[in-house]
Amino acid sequence: EPEVTQTPSHQVTQMGQEVILRCVPISNHLYFYWYRQILGQKVEFLVSFYNNEISEKSEIFDDQFSVERPDGSNFTLKIRSTKLEDSAMYFCASRHSGRNEQFFGPGTRLTVL
């Protein structure tokens, strides 16, 4: 069964460093999402992406964040200059154009020191 994959599973970085989180969505899906979950809190929407552009973003998704689909399979989230409060689990999700449900990857745990 196809699934969403994410790498790395855990990333540790120093404050101020750039990080890139990678996702491989399900191959025939066209809609892509990033969510984050700060430890002990709810899952929060960050951004949605379709047809090579952002379709919606939340207040969390400020200028420090960017997303990209660099090729036909990967979908990345970049944090330009990480802050301590960026420490969280980041989930990628994808959705088929004819369906309403999103399928989530296993997440990347980002720890900013």
Partner 1 sequence: AQSVTQPDIHITVSEGASLELRCNYSYGATPYLFWYVQSPGQGLQLLLKYFSGDTLVQGIKGFEAEFKRSQSSFNLRKPSVHWSDAAEYFCAVGAMDSSYKLIFGSGTRLLVRP
Positions touching partner 1 (CB under 8 A) are 4, 31, 33, 35, 41-45, 48, 50, 55-56, 91, 93, 95, 100-107
What's the 3-state SS for 43-69? Answer: EEEEEEEECCEEEEECCCCCCCEEEEC
What are 98's two structure tokens? Answer: 């004819």
Instruction: Quote the radius of gyration of the chain (alpha carbons, Å).
Output: 13
Identity of the residue, 66 or 106, whose beta carbon is nearer to partner 1 in the bound complex: 106
Tell the smallest beta-carbon distance from residue 81 to partner 1 (Å).
25
Identity of the residue, 4 or 79, whose beta carbon is nearer to partner 1 in the bound complex: 4
